[in-house]
Amino acid sequence: MPRRVLLIDDDRMQCMLTKAHFAKFRQEKYEVDWAETYEKGLRKLLSGEYTVCLLDYQLGERDGLALIREAIAAGCHVPIIFLTAETGENIDILAMEAGALDYLIKGEITTQSLERSLRYALKLGDTMEALRQLATHDALTGLLNRREFDRILIEEHERAKRFGRSYAIVTLDLDHFKKVNDTYGHPAGDLVLKTVAKRIGQQLRSVDRFARVGGEEFAIVLTEVDFVTVSEVAKRIVEMVARMPVLLENGTKLPVTVSAGSASMPKNAADPAALIRISDKALYEAKQRGRNRAVAAVELTPAE
């Protein structure tokens, strides 16, 4: 299936010329889609349907540099090749600083140079995505790591304040995990972590953010939920983990349980740091009450 390319250019003739180059490619084939305005181009770019974008510098009263910045700010990682008729004013440097991966001058584009630029941008884009995964995800479970979780939590807090919405977190900890490693070995412990992480992830919505924040510690950010809902989610996860033993490679069906604490904003805290602290207190209380249970922040006494 051909890879999809988005061409954002307000010049219909240039669009036809560019598509003609694609028709002459000798190696990989691409499906080219055209957007003739800034707004339409940005909307399509953020749709997640394209593997690479060709972006014109001049787009009516707005320019491609602003579009790149807006797309990246919205979380877009599609490789972008910048197109322009300008040869001065350091446009190439400005394009790269904005986030473009390559730069082509319209009057000098050939079929060969365009095909080479596409291959280069796609390869570099793959490399950068791999580096982003390493920087933001846990290598064992594939979940978000602690640094990315903290970033997302702050981001969600700002969004919730701006739009007057609620959000919540659940913190989880595998019970007696050290005993698993000591008895069955670290490979078994890794299998338990991966299996439990996968099962919990299947219980969550696509908009929820799930992270491994420590050795056997996990955390979830749930958007637009109240303290009642987050408490129910935490209890459902605890019950699910307890009723599904992990099958080890030696055939042992290992019972596994987790303890959980939950807290919501603005019901239980005024900022992300306080929210984590209160959720951790609820988790500690769940451990104190015998593990394999979920405790909500509203169940804590003021002294706790």
DSSP output for 99-148: T-SEEEEGGG--HHHHHHHHHHHHHHHHHHHHHHHHHHB-TTT-SB-HHH
270 vs 137: CA distance, rounded Å = 27
Instruction: Kindly give the pairing relationship between strand 102-105 and strand 80-84.
Output: parallel
Active-site entry in 115, 148, 216, 285: 216
Dig out the tokens for 155 from the structure: 């981001």
Q: What angle do the packed helices 12-23 and 111-136 form, to 10 degrees?
A: 90
Q: Return the H-helix or E-strand segment holding 30.
A: strand 30-35
The Cα 253–Cα 125 span in angstroms is: 42
**Distance, CA of 147 to chain centre:** 13
Query: Is-contact 50 22, C-beta < 8 A?
Result: no
Does residue 216 have an active-site annotation?
yes
| CA atoms 27, 126, 219, 221: torsion sign | negative
DSSP 3-state assignment of 198?
Answer: helix
DSSP state of 291: S
Region of residue 256 (phi > 0: left; psi between -120 and 50: alpha; otherwise: beta): beta
Where in the sequence numbering do the catalytic residues fall? Answer: 216
